[in-house]
Amino acid sequence: MTDEATAAQRFSRPPRSFTDGRDRAIEIGVADDADSEAVVEMYAAYTDADRAQGIPPRERRDVAEWVDTMLDDGINLVAWHGEDAVGHAALFPYDETAELVIFVHPDYHYAGIGSRLIRALLGAGQRAGLDHVWLSVQRDNHVAMNLYRSVGFETTRRERNEHEMELDL
């Protein structure tokens, strides 16, 4: 089996429907500008304790601007529970690599949504021709680091407060 075949089996392509660990119907799809308000609403639910590395921003106006920039500049997926955005992930291409960000609504943590969302996003990245992905994560965010490792990310740099991780697609 080739590496390409292995990677193709590892990462799904959106859209994707599944039942999460709490028996909720979740749909993952490609995000566009029409999804902006729902994604802003999701981020509005974040408290200071939910924020990592200063994101999402605190003020609603700043959140809306941040979301619009992500939707304009990246490959974006949204996880939906009915009409509510409950997860958002994006890849931002730079030269020969792309930065990954992923967030799941605090009320939907620990239900498998992040695992499905990151796999779908990496599949979308492969489909877009990306070969390499990197991310930055707070070093004490063990849940996120375990998620990233589960899909093949490796730590490439350790700093005082964060780790950088990378994956070849």
| 34: three-class secondary structure by DSSP | helix
CB 141 within 8 Å of CB 35 = no
Listed by start position, the domains of the chain span 3-168
CATH class of 3-168: alpha beta
**Three-state SS at 166:** strand
Cα-to-chain-centroid distance, residue 70: 12
pLDDT one digit per residue (tens) for the chain, 169 residues: 334 445 545 677 666 899 999 999 999 999 999 999 999 999 988 877 777 776 787 888 988 999 999 999 999 999 999 999 999 999 999 888 999 999 999 999 999 999 999 999 999 999 999 999 999 998 888 999 999 999 999 999 998 889 999 999 9
Provide the 10 A C-beta neighbour count for residue 148: 24
